[in-house]
Structure 1
Amino acid sequence: MSSVAEGPFCRSIVSSLTPAPLRTMLRTDDGVRIEAVYEPCTAGSVATAIVVAHGFTGSVDRPAVRRAAQVFAQRAAVVTFSFRGHGGSGGRSTVGDREVLDLAAAVEWARSLGHTRVVTVGFSMGGSVVLRHAAMHGGRKEAHTDAVAAVSAPARWYYRGTAPMRRLHWVVSRPLGRVVGRFGLGTRIHPEEWNPVPLSPTESVPLIAPTPLLIVHGDRDPYFPLDHPRMLAAAAGEGQAELWLEPGMGHAENAADEALLGRLADWLAGE
């Protein structure tokens, strides 16, 4: 499994703003086919598109992702997609490494549809991906994000401090675990270890400024305790990140209620 450097990304054949939902397959810079869905803003044509990066074992058609998309679409157009190894996308999951290519393809597609402002929001694994993407692609006009929000994201790799994360590491790192991942969780996982280890979320956030950055975390997250969002905010530097610690919230998109999703959409849309 190889970490990736910034490079060219695919462009969609769709070149103008479309007024209706659209499902397509994108191709990433390394040749993986990624399923993606575009939904216009229900309030009318707007310049902003929100690109949603789901968590590990999620997909574009999971109920929690669809619920988030429906709330976001009240403020902006929305692009959802399935990371490699998830849903109808090709390839195998690298658990946050090469997934930056999947997100970059989705961001470029949103821009090719006519949106002049494209922002990203990621949940859990997707949260780590949006942070790394914002750090890596700030200078690329087609692939850069104009604002980034990370929800329930880890601050560092290889964290095993909670029981859910120890179970996840078993799924990812053991042959039997990957069988469970494929047939039990619907996620195809790459068997190779990272080499080299990609830039961590904490190492990424100092590179994001001046792009607006929001970090959101629940105080009842069973995967990552509150030292993770606090480490991310501290690493970003004073005044460079907004931090929301949500009372009673659990983990990622499944725990985000409509009120929080609405506040996220307002922040991402610049309202």
Structure 2
Amino acid sequence: MSNGPAGHVARSTTVRPQSETPETASSAASRTFLQTADGVRVEAVYERGHVVYDTLTSPSGQIAFVVAHGFTGDVDKPHVRRIARALRRYGAVVTFSFRGHGASGGRSTVGDREVLDLAAAVAWAREQGHARVVTVGFSMGGSVVLRHGALHARESAAVVSVSAPARWYYRGTAPMRRVHWLVTRPEGRLVSRYGLRTRIQNGGWDPVPVSPVEAVPRIAPTPLLIVHGDRDGYFPVDHPRMLAAAAGDHGELWLEGGMGHAEHAAADELLARIGHWALRRAG
């Protein structure tokens, strides 16, 4: 079940990633705009991993992580760059800005057509020579990697979903009620556009996309890791438990004590464990 061709590279330059440490700043990154299957230009950055990587080593032997950020994030946000730095210890990393976020074109559909953005980023990682691609998503991006894993069979060697919702239209917490105000109200969309650099489409989903919990069983046999904090202020623990139950034997649940929500709450130690898990399971 595919939404069409993943897309292609429209423009490429070589730049240094922003907000990096002196160690990582010494490595150049490739920055480009990708063309999605529905014609949206999505900004993306490719960085080689810190693992042994010389002229005799082919990228095909190294995992590539494709990181899908949360709502209102973008490729240059400090918390996205921190995730990239941590995962580069285990492989190459592709980060990108979802449609409507940062310098990418289009408008956010809050988890629906963003699957096409992720598909273009995965295809770009493969164009760099990586045979094994691991998708890692946070919050909204966590729901997108689940749906991508279901819709694009065999494109990912493993899927990691962090702090994702299990079902749509959830308003059971104050933070999610604020998100719904941003998305559904004209004044909320103005705040999002000018205050958060996130441009949201006007109008709801038509049709409503398959929910994350409905998508999860279709990911098998691709290895799946579900990560969630027991202090997540957006989605309580019934969400990851629903996802894990839907995954059955092919999924693994890490319920992290004391962890909050998404990238900001993902400690370096947790990111290291995710990197090790990916090396084991995506081989």
- Give CA deviations for 1:219-260 in whole Å, capped at 9, x if unaligned: 0000000000000000112x1210000010000001101000
Partner of 1:56: 71
In the alignment, does 2:258 pair up with 1:243? no
Contact conserved, 2:75 with 2:96, CA < 8 A, in 1?
Answer: yes
CA contact (8 A) 1:12 1:112 kept: no
Structure 2 distance, partners of 1:181, 1:116, is 37
8 Å Cα contact 2:9-2:32 kept in structure 1: no
Partner of 1:110: 125
Which amino acid in 2 is paired with 1:32? Answer: V
Partner of 1:226: 237
3-state secondary structure, aligned to 1:24: strand
User: Which amino acid is 1:12 matched to?
Assistant: V
Q: Do 2:2 and 2:152's aligned partners in 1 also have CA atoms closer than 8 Å?
A: no
Cα distance in 2, alignment partners of residues 256 and 78 from structure 1: 17
Q: Tell me whether 1:194 sits opposite 2:205 in the alignment.
A: yes
What amino acid is aligned across from residue 182 of structure 2 in structure 1?
A: V
Give, in whole Å, the separation in 1 of the partners of 2:181 and 2:198.
14
1:20 CA displacement? 4.3
1:194-223 Cα deviation digits (max 9, x unpaired):
000000000000000000000000000000
8 Å Cα contact 2:10/2:35 also seen in 1: no
Question: What CA distance in whole angstroms lies between the structure 2 residues aligned with 1:11 and 1:186?
Answer: 25
Gaps of 5+ in 2: 12-26, 54-60
Equivalences for 1:83-94 in 2 at 5 Å? 83-94=98-109
Q: Which residue of 2 aligns with 1:259?
A: 269
2:91 alignment partner in structure 1: 76
Instruction: Give the Å deviation of 1:8.
Output: 1.4
Counterpart pick for 1:179 among 181, 190, 201: 190
Identity %: 67
User: Deviation string for 1:26-52 (max 9, x for gaps)?
Assistant: 010011000000000112234210000
Match of 1:11 in 2: 8
Residue 147 of structure 2, aligned match among 94, 119, 132: 132
Q: Distance in 1 between matches of 2:205 and 2:2?
A: 14
- Alpha-carbon deviation of 1:270? 2.4
Q: Which has the higher contact order (CA 8 A, sep 6+)?
A: 1
TM-score computed with the length of structure 1 as normaliser: 0.93
Aligned length: 260
Question: Helix, strand or coil: the match of 1:262?
Answer: helix
Secondary structure, counterpart of 1:12 in structure 2? strand
Where does residue 33 of structure 1 map in the other structure?
41
Higher mean displacement: 44-53 or 250-259: 44-53
Partner of 1:65: 80
1:13 shift after superposition: 7.2
Is the counterpart of residue 100 in structure 1 residue 115 in structure 2?
Answer: yes
Paired residue type of 2:39: G
State TM-score, norm by structure 2: 0.89
Secondary structure (helix, strand or coil) at the match of 2:157 reads coil
CA contact (8 A) 2:10 2:32 kept: no
Match of 1:145 in 2: 156
Q: Match of 1:149, SS?
A: strand
